[in-house]
Amino acid sequence: MKRRIYQNEIEMPEVAISESGSEWNKTGGWSTVVPVHQNKRAPCQRDCPVGVDIPVYLDLIKQKKYLKAYKIVKETNCMPAITGRVCYHPCEDGCNRKVLDQPLAIHALERFIGDWGLDNVPVKKHKVDLSKGKIAVVGSGPAGISCAYHLIQKGYPITIYEKESKPGGMLRFGIPEYRLPEKVLDKELKSVFDLGIEVKLNCQVGKDVSWEELKKFGAVFIATGAYRSRKMNVTGENLEQVKPALELLIETNLGKKFDLTGQKVLVMGRGNTAIDAARTALRCGAEVSILSRSGQQEMIATQEEIQMALEEGIQILELVDIGSFEWIDSNTARVNCVRLKREVNKTGKVRYPVMEGSDFSLTANLVLVAKGQDSELESLPAELEKDQSQVQADRWGKTSAERFYAGGDLALSAKTVAFALGSGRRAALAMDAYLSKMGLKSGEENILVTREADLNLAYFMKAPREEDVLTEVHSRKSSFKEVNAGLDQEGILREVARCFSCGTCNSCDNCYTFCPDLAVFKDNHQYRVYTEYCKGCGICVQECPRDAIELALKLGEES
């Protein structure tokens, strides 16, 4: 018989696999385990302070279903166009993609969908139920806005009290225009307020309206921020040339013009406020240096912001502290410094003792101190339990006073926009549970997180990370225009295609295809298993690229 070679499967004739069926052979009786399709939490979502379901909305962006993606984000994050610009994106630190090449640029994808939503999704006013009880929110920063947003979704009438003439809190006054344009902030705030939230500006609680009056509300959320700059407690700190770094940022954002041309400016600090103040002073014409008590890699500021500061010509003096200031003349101060050394003790704790004989001096026309901020607690209700710098509140924002909740920088040690948004959302859930007399469920217990080792990397190819488009250094040094232009739509689609969708089934059909017993079937777009024929071999688990299947004991089986 002449042998025939088929070039492809199309040329091959249909041949029966067997002469008879094998339904009689119920191989499932051999096993004690069965595969279970169960979505798990991706590390990016676990690390997101706001709790955004990142893999789901990224998969929707892949499919160009932008409206659905935007709605998923807005379930937890009321201002993605802002967080996409200013969040320090801890979600990227835990991204499993880094074991293959580089973490996903989640911040750029969030910014894209946030901007798309502002441009394309109309805001509809929510109906409120007056019988639910009115809620007062004190402060219109990220925590207050987040709390109000999530409560009005549940039908509560909301009134925000803001002592300034414009809303936004630290988003407006503490973040420079080149990082967060005012027009983006205003559009995000409008999209929240237009839901039906009442905002009273130029109204300071404790002065224009009493705390006693607010007790008439069903619940009160306090998020007045942290605006009091910490002192250094060194000699000469009260010199005219020494000012809080936050003061420069606030006055610049309020429109005040500073001409620092030719002046030497020193910034003391190692966080984002220090970097923001340094880059702001540079744009006002100054020659700027940052003094950091730690090394550059251990600074609190994000490495991206540090790198941009260095690119712009700002010098960072590492392991340096200020001992005192001396007056030279009305325009100049002597800054007496010491060098520090880095030491690690047996427990791994890092400390920075002074290096003996390391004294040196610098001169400056302006010194900006960014040692952190505390909250102003004096005007708050006496029944609120406080420590030296903030209000004491539990994870859900509940304070020692009945019906009073607190969040944001007023109650958190982690003073970031994302943590503030998360605290506002949690407080909203707690207030709703209290007012509706329903139990509070976090929904976070016993949720499995997909690890790097749980993925099947054979199904993923290396692909370069899309980098943000930045304004050229020479043109941005003297301009407050936004530096980061983000990614264009083509770049967005290339970048989102890199997502592993960790722990989230996206119907790749591997389990269906590779099952040797044909025990996996589809039922209404979901995978199910014929337990009579599944012998628990685990091939489907191994071939799942995303860790969305696990083997579980059959009901009634002993472990």
**87-91 contacts at long range (C-beta below 8 A, 24 or more positions apart):** 87/416, 87/417, 87/418, 88/272, 88/302, 88/416, 88/418, 90/47, 90/48, 90/49, 90/418, 91/44, 91/45, 91/47, 91/48, 91/54
**DSSP state for residue 445 in the 8-state scheme:** T
Question: From residue 549, how far is each of 405, 498, 538 by CA, in Å?
Answer: 40, 21, 9
> If you search the block for the tokens 């040196």, which residue do you land on?
360
- The CA-based dihedral angle spanning residues 545, 550, 551, 553, taken in that order and rounded to the nearest 10 degrees: -170
What tokens does 483 get?
A: 């530096």
**DSSP state for residue 350 in the 8-state scheme:** E
> If you search the block for the tokens 């237009």, which residue do you land on?
194
By three-state DSSP, how is residue 145 classified?
helix
Over its length of 559 residues, how does the chain's per-residue pLDDT go in tens digits?
566 666 666 776 676 555 555 666 787 788 889 999 989 999 999 999 999 999 999 999 999 999 999 999 999 999 999 999 999 999 999 999 999 999 999 999 999 999 999 999 999 999 999 889 999 999 999 999 999 999 999 999 999 999 999 999 999 999 999 999 999 999 999 999 999 999 999 999 999 999 999 999 999 999 999 999 999 999 999 999 999 999 999 999 999 999 999 999 999 999 999 999 999 999 999 999 999 999 999 999 999 999 999 999 999 999 999 999 999 999 999 999 999 999 998 888 999 999 999 999 999 999 999 999 999 999 999 999 998 889 999 999 999 999 999 999 999 888 899 999 999 999 999 999 999 988 787 666 568 899 999 999 999 999 999 999 999 999 999 999 999 999 999 999 999 999 999 999 989 999 999 999 899 998 888 899 998 899 999 999 999 999 999 999 887 544 3
Amino acid at the residue 321: D
CA distance 464 to 358: 45
Q: Are 383 and 225 in contact (CB under 8 A)?
A: no
Whole-model pTM: value is: 0.90
By three-state DSSP, how is residue 474 classified?
helix
CA distance 524 to 316: 59
CA distance 147 to 373: 22
CA distance 286 to 281: 6
Q: Are 417 and 142 in contact (CB under 8 A)?
A: yes
- Per 3-state DSSP, the chain is made up of helix, strand and coil in percentages (nearest 5) of 30, 20, 50
**DSSP state for residue 398 in the 8-state scheme:** B
Domains delineated in the chain: 27-39+505-553 (3.30.70.20), 43-122+455-496 (1.10.1060.10), 130-227+375-436 (3.50.50.60), 235-372 (3.50.50.60)
CA distance 245 to 277: 6
> What φ, ψ does residue 42 adopt, rounded to 5°?
-75, 150
CA distance 121 to 190: 13
Question: From residue 457, how far is each of 95, 103, 249, 493, 546 by CA, in Å?
Answer: 14, 14, 46, 21, 9
Nearest one of 92, 214, 200, 95 to 139, comparing CA atoms: 200
What tokens does 31 get?
A: 């096993």
